Amino acid sequence: MKLIVGNWKMNGLTADGRARAESLAHFIKNAQDSSCKMVLCPPATLLALVGDAVQGSGISCGGQDCHTEASGAFTGDISAQMLKDSGCDYVIVGHSERRQHHRETDAEISAKAKAAHAAGLIAIVCVGETDAERSAGKEESVVAEQLKNSLPDTATPENTVIAYEPVWAIGTGKVASAEDIKSMHAFIRSKVGEGFQLLYGGSVKASSAADILHTPNVDGVLVGGASLKVEEFQAIAAASG
Ligand code: PGA
């Protein structure tokens, strides 16, 4: 069963968020085969609404980030426990936009994943190299280091999903080549072992989804921009069959 995760990022207001979630719930309920599990990660302001709209469809909700602590004086932050309480089953941690804009370190990401596990959430831990790192031939060592330091000792295949998202492919329209995805996913598999679900993310579109989803060691996709377009995202989900 492929995991198809839509990361809405900082996009969506009540009306369009509800319409998108309702359409996807309708699509999943009527899908002939259930070869995918869909997860929607809307902005926190829409979690309750999206959760309501997808109820009974089998679609799960996820947060886009969480704090390392369960509660406290952390203005503006959201804890894993709060996400769980809002109906989430998943949370993305260590997205490259968080690593970049909020200077999140591997140690912090590991603590966030641990907090997610403590709250009963599945952590989607993101790793991936920059353009400069790949040009320097360092992609494997960078990803190995991120895996070593951002996965907490509580991580198991039941509570953790790993998303390989090359930074240069996110929101750029540049998808990693089939060969690049194949070799990096084999490399990650060799590091973490069997059982963990491995996602690819970075400019996944309906047109590229089938090939990506049928690459060895690719158990699903993490989709940003294309997850905001209902038909495009449905086509990506359909490509998992
Ligand atoms: P993108 O984003 O699909 O827009 O490249 C992917 C992600 O950031 O998870």
pLDDT, tens only, 199-224: 999 999 999 999 999 999 999 999 99
- DSSP codes, 28-56: HHH-S---EEEEEE--GGGHHHHHHHTTT
- Would the CB of 227 count as within 6 Å of ligand 1? no
Which pLDDT score is estimated for 118?
A: 98
201: left (phi over 0), alpha (psi -120 to 50) or beta: beta
pLDDT at 235 over 90: yes
- Would the CB of 201 count as within 6 Å of ligand 1? yes
Q: What is the mean pLDDT of residues 183-203?
A: 97
Looking at ligand 1, which atom is closest to the CA of residue 5?
9
Which entry of 108, 129, 133, 165 is annotated as an active-site residue? 165
CB contact set of 4 (below 8 Å; sequence gap of 6+): 36, 37, 38, 39, 220, 221, 223, 233, 236, 237, 240
| H helix or E strand, kind and range, residue 21 | helix 14-30
pLDDT at 33 over 80: no
What is the pLDDT confidence band of residue 93, given thresholds at 50, 70 and 90?
Answer: very high
Using alpha carbons only, give the angle 81, 87, 91 rounded to the nearest 5 degrees: 60
Considering only residues 175 and 83, tell me which one the structure prediction assigns the higher pLDDT. 83
What is the pLDDT confidence band of residue 31, given thresholds at 50, 70 and 90?
Answer: confident
Mean pLDDT over all residues of the chain? 96
Q: What is the mean pLDDT of residues 33-40?
A: 88
pLDDT, tens only, 48-57: 999 999 999 9
Amino acid at 102: H
Which pLDDT score is estimated for 161?
A: 98
pLDDT, tens only, 62-81: 999 999 999 999 999 999 99
Task: Say if pTM beats, i.e. exceeds, 0.75.
Answer: yes
pLDDT, tens only, 126-167: 999 999 999 999 999 999 999 999 999 999 999 999 999 999
Give the whole-angstrom CA distance, residue 41 versus residue 156: 21
Which pLDDT score is estimated for 188?
A: 98
Q: What is the mean pLDDT of residues 11-35?
A: 92
pLDDT at 84 over 80: yes
**Contact status, residue 144 vs residue 182, Cβ threshold 8 Å:** no
Q: Where in 33-148 does DSSP place strands (E)?
A: 36-41, 60-63, 88-93, 122-127
**Atom 1 of ligand 1, nearest CA residue:** 224
Pocket test for ligand 1, best of 3, 101, 222 (most atoms within 8 A of CB): 222
How many C-beta atoms lie closer than 10 Å to residue 1's C-beta?
A: 11
Q: Specify the length of the chain in residues.
A: 241
Closest alpha carbon to 146 in 164, 121, 122, 159: 164
Give the whole-angstrom CA distance, residue 227 versus residue 21: 11
What is the pLDDT confidence band of residue 35, given thresholds at 50, 70 and 90?
Answer: confident
Q: Where in 67-121 does DSSP place strands (E)?
A: 88-93
Question: Is 214 considered catalytic here?
Answer: no
